[in-house]
């Protein structure tokens, strides 16, 4: 089963509201948000030995990567929206 099959209802809803490209980006953004939440929750239990108030370095890297991917998707969605409004 592919992600297109697994998330078909969400894809259909977002693609109807936003168009195919922006709809798929919106679903990808939702998936990244879910991953960010789960990783953040995991970080509560896997704290750094050096700094107990922060997650381990590997989790910090994952959180930064997911956050960066979300920012890129948001910037593409904003660009597509700006093009559409022209």
Residue 59 domain-assigned (yes or no):
yes
Cβ atoms of 32 and 69 closer than 8 Å: yes
Q: Provide, rounded to the nearest whole percent, the portion of the chain with pLDDT above 70.
A: 100
Residue 36 lies in a domain: yes
Range of the domain at 36: 27-81
Residue 14 forms part of a structural domain: no
Give the model's confidence band at 74: pLDDT under 50 very low, under 70 low, under 90 confident, else very high.
Answer: very high
What residues contact residue 45 under an 8 Å CB cut-off, 6+ apart?
none
Task: Give, in order, the Cα–Cα distances in Å from 40 to each of 26, 29, 50, 66.
Answer: 21, 16, 18, 11
Question: Which tens digit of pLDDT belongs to each residue from 24-52?
Answer: 999 999 999 999 999 988 888 888 788 88
Looking at the structure of the chain, the number of domains it has is: 1
Do residues 14 and 27 lie in contact, with contact meaning Cβ atoms separated by under 8 Å?
A: yes
Q: What is the mean pLDDT of residues 16-31?
A: 92
Cα 39–49–62 angle (5° rounding)? Answer: 25
């Amino acid at each position: 089963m592919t992600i297109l099959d697994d998330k078909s209802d969400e894809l259909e809803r977002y693609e109807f509201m936003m168009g195919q490209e922006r709809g798929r980006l919106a679903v990808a953004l939702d998936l990244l948000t879910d991953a960010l939440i789960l990783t953040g929750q995991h970080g509560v239990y896997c704290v750094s030995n050096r700094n107990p108030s922060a997650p381990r370095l590997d989790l910090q890297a994952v959180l930064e990567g997911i956050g960066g991917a979300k920012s890129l998707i948001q910037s593409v969605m904003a660009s597509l929206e700006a093009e559409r409004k022209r």
